[in-house]
A and B are shown apart, each in its own frame.
Chain A
Amino acid sequence: MRRMSALSPAPPLSGPAQERARRARLRLTDLRASRTLTVLAWIGAAVIVITMGSVGFQVIRGASEAIGRFGPLFAFHAAWIPNLNKLGGLSYLYGSLVTSLVSLVFATILGVSIGIFLALLAPRPVANVIGPLVEMLAAIPTVVLGLIGIIVISPFSAHTLEPLFHGVLGWTGLFGAPAQNGASLFTASLVLTIMVLPIISALSRDIFRTVPQELRDGAEALGATRWEMIRGVVLPTTVSGITGACVLGFARAMGEAIAVTQVVGNASLIHANLFFPGTTLASAIANQFESPQNSLTESALYYLALILLIVGVLTSIVSRRIISRGAKLT
């Protein structure tokens, strides 16, 4: 704009003086806008640091009694008997890891497939219908998903899936007699899968769309089929982004409390059988924090929160590693 007006003859109403004033005004607005942005950015950064710091501080302070009593081995003791002050976090950690990993496996397979379909295979009109549907899935409140879990998924998991798996893979010991109401780690994993699925599919769709058309054309011009193009060019160039999406999904699954509590059975057990009731870190905190039996139990719940936090941080560090290694390869 400015250059154009400098090149074209000045319109009658604006002399050089007006032009100068206009430019000065523009510069001032520019300056103000960039000042404001800088200040906002600093405030944002400060809020993040303060929040992180206070979360860490509060959790550690709350957990200090339990830390003093049980030490780091707390995470590796399974018993949770508040009356006897025998408290250990292993069954919670186990439940969290198992449900998150199982749901991550399901959601990754499904979500990446949906992402590939929406970004690369589906005709535009189809993608325009299914894409928003997938995103809507993410808008369902988790407590509602939990209800669906109780009414639909639990019976399905107990009475249809378990016999199926048991028949084929019974020897692995991962599948066994389900609880009567269907509450189990596996049911919780299925509910988590539904929660994580929209995250992974929407993110991976967006990531796949960033692969330049030229690269895809390049592969197809070499006589590659769609699938060969996807496997050979699209997936390798997006591994790191997809990994990031999966880690986000994993973190989401680890942190979910309500929906899991509704279907997991809330039994602090460790059992190879996925169809047994279990519990998770997040659901234990949500369940028991209202009325802990004594102060040590309350502190132990903080300790569980601390473990959750540490797993979250570790996950994010590992994912950064993977992503930066992926970036180096390309």
Chain B
Amino acid sequence: MSVSETTTDEFDDTLIAEPDRSAPARIRLSPGPTRRPTPEPAAPAITRQIVFDARGVWVDYGAKRALEDVTMTIERNLATALIGPSGCGKSTFLRCLNRMNDSIPGFSVGGELRYHGHDLYGPTANRVEVRRRIGMVFQKPNPFPKSIYDNVAWAPRNLGMKDGLDERVERALRGAALWDEVKDRLKQSALGLSGGQQQRLCIARAIAVEPDVVLLDEPASALDPIATASIEDLIHELKLRYTIVIVTHNMQQAMRVADRTAFFSLDENRTGALIEYADTKTLFSHPADSRTRDYITGQFG
């Protein structure tokens, strides 16, 4: 948690300067033409690779509009936080990013949502492939009722990454700062772990397939402060390798872990909307919108 934002930024710069680890060629969701997104006018001096590019995204659940006109870009190797009051569509938006909403009856999405230039909801985009690259960790830890080892090894096995499985599992567990706690009981049921350990196991499970992005939906809301701190430390580590999008109710947490913060709120019709999106420091110290200011100073509703 002591990693300050400046050091992270420096690290990112060197990382971007390096030959790109995952050039877009590797990230091909569909055989369609690759459209390189033009940089936003307000983009910072260093142009980061844009991972998600949402333009006018809206979501309906049946006849009810849940989210209206979201336009934002999410950049590589940053942690982007989504904050806002309950029901404003944070989870909805997050779940659009890896198409987890697809199976909800009545769900429909519109506007344009691009991932590395590929239309996520385009006719040729493959939902399974999308999720393979964009991992997700849920609010409630949801380990499979299998052994710790099998929880982590399940997805790689599934995807045919069978070589060096043991090393892969160890790497994922180390990456999720869980290895030392479980290395002697890998064969035991994952349900025997504490809540915080289970959540880190879910993170390990997500990074075991080496995704490009990790989405976290209130990953620490069911955890005590110590477990929360370890998850937050972990997020600082993770964003060196992955792009992180995190939904949180806890504004201190957003300040601690996120480089960028997006504030969502409900409009008069109780439809969710993106109100303000900025560098975390800016958003919390100089909010541009009065609704943001009210929310972060606790004067909401």
On A, residues with C-beta under 8 Å from B are: 123-124, 212, 214-215, 217-225, 228, 232-233, 236-237, 329-330
Contacts and interface: CB of A to CB of B under 8 A. Distances in A.
Contacts of B28: none
Interface in B131-162: 131-133, 135-136, 138, 140, 142-146, 154-155, 158-159
B138 A217 contact: yes
B158 A218 contact: no
Interface of B: 98, 100, 103, 105, 128-129, 131-133, 135-136, 138, 140, 142-146, 154-155, 158-159, 189, 191, 202, 205-206, 209
B142 A224 contact: no
Given A223-B129, A330-B191, A212 B142 contact: yes
Closest 9 pairs between A and B when the two form their complex, measured CB to CB: A223-B132, A222-B155, A330-B145, A221-B136, A214-B142, A218-B142, A223-B131, A228-B158, A225-B128
A212 B140 CA distance: 12
Contacts of A123: 105
Nearest to A220: B131
A219 B142 CA distance: 10
B100 A220 contact: yes
Contacts of A236: 145-146
A218 B144 contact: yes
Contacts of B155: 222-224
Contacts of A232: 144, 154, 158
Nearest to B139: A214
Given A217-B100, A330-B145, A222 B191 contact: no
A180 B158 CA distance: 51
B156 to A, nearest CB: 9
A223 B155 CA distance: 7
Contacts of A215: 142, 144-145
A223 B209 contact: yes
A225 B102 CA distance: 13
Given A214-B138, A222-B131, A222-B205, A330 B158 contact: no
A9 B143 CA distance: 47
A219 B159 CA distance: 12
Nearest to B205: A222
Contacts of A225: 128
7 contacts: A214-B138, A217-B142, A222-B155, A223-B155, A224-B158, A236-B145, A237-B144
Most A C-beta atoms less than 10 A away, residue of B129, B140, B145: B145
Contacts of B105: 123-124
A3 to B, nearest CB: 25
A218 B128 contact: no
Given A214-B140, A236-B146, 13 more contacts: A215-B144, A217-B136, A218-B143, A218-B205, A220-B103, A221-B100, A221-B135, A223-B129, A223-B158, A223-B159, A224-B128, A224-B131, A237-B144
Nearest to A218: B142
Most B C-beta atoms less than 10 A away, residue of A123, A222, A330: A222
A216 to B, nearest CB: 9
A220 B205 CA distance: 12
Contact of A218 (B98, B138, B189): B138
A236 B131 CA distance: 22
A221 B100 CA distance: 7
Contacts of B205: 218, 222
Contacts of B142: 212, 214-215, 217-218
A18 B138 CA distance: 50
Nearest to A124: B105
Contacts of B159: 223
A215 B143 CA distance: 7
Given A223-B128, A330-B191, A233 B144 contact: yes
